[in-house]
Structure 1
Amino acid sequence: MRSSRRRLPLFPVLLCAAAVLAARPTAADGEPGGDGSGADAGISAQVARLYEDAALATQRYEAGRREAEAQRAEAQRLEALLGRQRQELAVLRGDLGRIARAQYRSGGGLSDAARFVLARDPDELMRGQHVFSRTNQAVDNAIGKSRRAEARLAADEAKATGAKQALERRNAELAVLKKGIEQKLEQARWQLQGQADASVAAGSCRGAVRLGRPSVQLTREWAAPVEGYTLSASFGSGGARWVNRHTGQDFAVPIGTPVRAVGAGRVVRVACGGAFGIEIVLQHADGYYTQYAHLAAVTVDQDENVTPGQWIGQSGTSGNSTGPHLHFEVRVTPEMGSAVDPVPWLTARGVPVG
């Protein structure tokens, strides 16, 4: 009746950053424990500082990511603008070529004195001067327009290049920042798990820690026990780690993921030690009981009333566990041996699992 964890999903969403907060689980069967040693307090303070660093880095990462997306959109806009400007410049250069050729064919290259000598009469001279003037004006206008377009193109190309370089720098910074966040979270999670393992080995937990509870906006009476999970071992499945059959549903999540009460109820058991490691059992108004096992920490005490979706602990891999996950059971009594399949039980209460 012991659970295993088969698959650990990648979980980049940083809601589980709360995993790194130091935890002091409740004593076995609800008996209050001591305050913990000075070494434990030091580890807790270190974990808390790591959490604060990770939270700040997360804010910077999200802000930088949004800025990078804006820069990418601006670079795409500038590239489209440059494409249109290049086309317009090509048309202008073609117009200049046509004007130059037309001017050459019409004698636009002759001086004013030559035009005066070669003109057959005053009318022809005036007509030539008029055509020559108009042609020169057209050439001057075309040259000016072309030069202005070339200047705009050069400026916009420089701007686009600068935006692209800035985007590349930002992406590099974000990659380093993201790696730092992941390293800090991983280190802090395993520090938290180390405290849990020490508690299980001693068979006595140190008391609930009152962490800030994640805001959960529920519109119904029931909720999933964790978010961002991957289902692993299912109810009734066989395995070498269980005496008979698996008695619950395993939700693979990283260490420290907030574990929530699936419904309103009362805490009837908080224990530390044994195959389930750190565990919580809730009693619900309809007579059923739910169990949350292999935790790294708890945030409630025995006999405490809880609400749907309330944060009651943090997932871990304490006890007889092969990796981080939540072992979730539904029982008709608070004790082992009375489990029912939790997936259809949750589904019947409007909480699809999958």
Structure 2
Amino acid sequence: MAFGSRAAGSGKHRGSSRLSRKTAGYAGIAALATTGVVGTLAAPAFAADNSGAPSMEDTGQNSIVVADGLQDDIKVQAESQQRAAEAVAAQAQAEAEAKQRAAEAKRAAEAAEAKAKAEREAAEAKAKEEERKRSNAFVAPVSASVTTQYGAGGGMWSSGSHTGIDFAVGQGTSVHAVGAGTVVEAGWGGAYGNNVVIRHNDGTYTQYGHMSSLNVSVGEQVGAGTVIGLSGNTGNSSGAHLHFEARTGASYGSDINPLTYLRNRGVGI
């Protein structure tokens, strides 16, 4: 039988696809449009067609929109992270530069302090050297020639010889300490008349005799060139002059050659 043969040969009848049905519907609408029968049918037809239109899920458009949005979010996040990284780098650079400036300022301050310290030390050393020179400097007691040498013999001296040297100066000539030291005697000295004895910084002593007046007292500190009195003719003296002695000790009898003493200390006589 022909019907049976068709059923056995073809199996189940496959219905038209959804897309085919829609295509046919679109074709029908087009046909109605040519005949002018659109007014009452167009809206329902389109409504029916729209009700069966494929969704965004069917077409895959939603996935594309979501992917585009995600890419935008990633881009914004990346830009934000980049700006944050740049801010952190700028802050780190600023901190490094500030530290470098602080270190340079510290080094400059230390260098200035070291320079100032060196200058202070140099000035102090110079002042000490000048003071040392002043302390060790010696000058002549008066500006005059020597009339009687050391060791000269004669009955005028109790020891039988001259224990110092005499400078030919008139009454009232200023007499100077030959070096820095301390006055250990100032006043009447018997045969020496008005006299002054000075203990110098090197431990030696000098004596100035026959003076008319004294300007210093015992215990007073003097420097080289300090005026200690005025020349005269007091004590065992035959005329105005200055008797000058150099000694290794404060007592009489420890005398040494005054010219040698002064010349060894740079005094040209």
Report which structure shows greater RCO (CA 8 Å, sep ≥6): 1
* TM-score normalised per structure 2: 0.49
* TM-score normalised per structure 1: 0.37
